[in-house]
Amino acid sequence: MKTSYIIPLFLAVVLTTFATSCNDFLDRMPVAQRSPDNIFTSEESANAAVSGMYRSMMNSFSYGQAILMIPEFSANHLAHVSSFPEFENFATHGILDAGGTTPQPLPPSNIWLANMWQATYATINAANGIIALVPQMDAAVISDERKSQYEGEARFIRALHYFFLARAFGNVPLEIEPTSEETDVYVAQANTEEIYELIIADLNRAVELLPLSAGSGLAEKGRASRWAAKGLLAKVQLYHASLFSNDFTEAARLAEDVINNGPFSLVDNFINIWQSENTTESIFELQFEEQATNPWANEMGDNDGNRTFARGNIVSNLYDSLDLRRAATVWLGTRTGLTDRWYIAKYPNLVPATQNFTIIRLAEIYLIHAEARARIDNAVSTASYASLSAVQTRAGVSEPIGTYTSLAAYIIAIQEEKEKELMFEGETWFDYCRTGLALTKYSTLTDERYFIYPIPAAQFQVDRTLVQNPGYNPA
């Protein structure tokens, strides 16, 4: 399939700019100053392409906003200052008919779906180019060590983005070769299990290629490491086991490895994850700064520019009164006429909006391990409970192991703990859909076909062979 995002290779995503300085990984050179002729001719130019790949994730249709925000609407966590259908369709898991009573499936023409699809494939295209071309570079201009690192980073990023596509859209075109605007290639849709196979293969290869640490200097912040690949792979294996194999061994093993052998630790105070950057808990963190601000964070805060906030009391009511995460997650507005509005507190660095976003952090790995270990042990085992308790203890709400009287109830408790821990981090919706718990949690969701979104309508104008997801009207 030739998706409609196609643009010249590595001039990709006009918002993307390339790193050129050895002092700052995300220093930028205007895109127009780069051309395909001077990509991959030196270590500096290859590094620039890798930087561009990372920076493509920072725009408002990727991890800068939409990839996090839209699943949070689906999880019924978010509201918008205006009740636009393009947001409310996600919150109600569809649209209402003329009578306003019968939920209908989400329309494939939703602009957020179209933009997320395009932005995600643009980053995948950038990764594909690095994977294809960096290994072919002359040894005289780049070391084998750097070749391995750059290919490993690209495989990690490609896996991350296909993981999003598989969870969000199900069967999608599996593009693994770089394309340009002259390319006229149509890649068939792969089924979701095939996509997971590629993701797992990419991450296993990334584990082999990436360094243990990306480093701590300005030139290394925000880059993937071997531990990031292992952490993401643990999460992918949890989903793969839930959906296909029912074998949670790899999810547990990888999570244990990161917890026991990785250089990470939970921060003492939950709020410090957000008030600081690149903490001891951070495994992979997207770096924003004054010249590349966080689009979603720009919309938060008790000010006239605010557009998204917590939906009613739903979020605040999830937390026990003793839960230290509540105040670090939402806060009640004080402005006249808005004293009943709960604002998002997790992204406090708003002026300017330089708030980083941690895509993988240790607390989630603990909760992945808790579930995977319990499923393997077929019990509320001590090893599983220790991981759940680590997260709860930091939050000030640890429950005794005897609280959990059945394995089924315990698994639900872990998922609900994950919802509170990872609120506004784009995870809850996908996690509840993974186990089917979404059908219980959301009264407007009545059909598991709507665990995934429709393929955007614009894509059918490019490739008429596409098959729309079941339950949605053809484009």
Model confidence pLDDT, tens digit, residues 20-46: 333 454 443 333 334 445 689 999 999
Q: Cβ neighbours of residue 321 under 8 Å, at least 6 residues apart?
A: none
Q: CA 307: distance to chain centroid?
A: 21
Domain 1-224 annotated CATH 1.10.300.10: no
Q: Which long-range contacts (C-beta less than 8 Å, at least 24 apart) are formed by 469-475? A: 469/169, 469/170, 469/171, 471/105, 471/447, 472/105, 472/106, 472/108, 473/105, 473/107, 473/108, 475/108, 475/109
pLDDT above 60 for 17: no
pLDDT attached to residue 28: 37
pLDDT in tens, 153-169: 999 999 999 999 999 99
Find residue 360's DSSP bridge partners: 284
pLDDT in tens, 321-359: 999 999 999 999 887 777 788 999 998 888 889 999 999
Q: What is the pLDDT averaged over residues 44-55?
A: 96
Nearest to 197 by CA among 166, 169, 154, 229: 166
Cβ neighbours, 10 Å, residue 209: 20
pLDDT in tens, 380-434: 999 999 999 999 999 999 999 999 999 999 999 999 999 999 999 999 999 999 9
pLDDT above 50 for 279: yes
pLDDT above 60 for 76: yes
Q: Using only the alpha carbons of the chain, give its radius of gyration.
A: 22
pLDDT attached to residue 81: 84
* Domain extent listing, the chain: 1-224, 272-359
Q: How high does pLDDT run on average in the chain?
A: 89
| Omega within 30 of 0 (cis) for the link into 400 | no
pLDDT band at 299 (very low <50, low <70, confident <90, very high): confident
- Distance in angstroms (rounded) separating the CA atoms of residues 308 and 91: 13
- Distance in angstroms (rounded) separating the CA atoms of residues 31 and 50: 13
More confident residue, 411 or 95: 411
pLDDT attached to residue 340: 82
pLDDT above 80 for 217: no
Find residue 172's DSSP bridge partners: 190
pLDDT attached to residue 184: 60
Q: What is the pLDDT averaged over residues 3-16?
A: 41
pLDDT in tens, 180-189: 766 666 788 9
pLDDT above 70 for 469: yes
Find residue 357's DSSP bridge partners: 286
pLDDT band at 252 (very low <50, low <70, confident <90, very high): very high
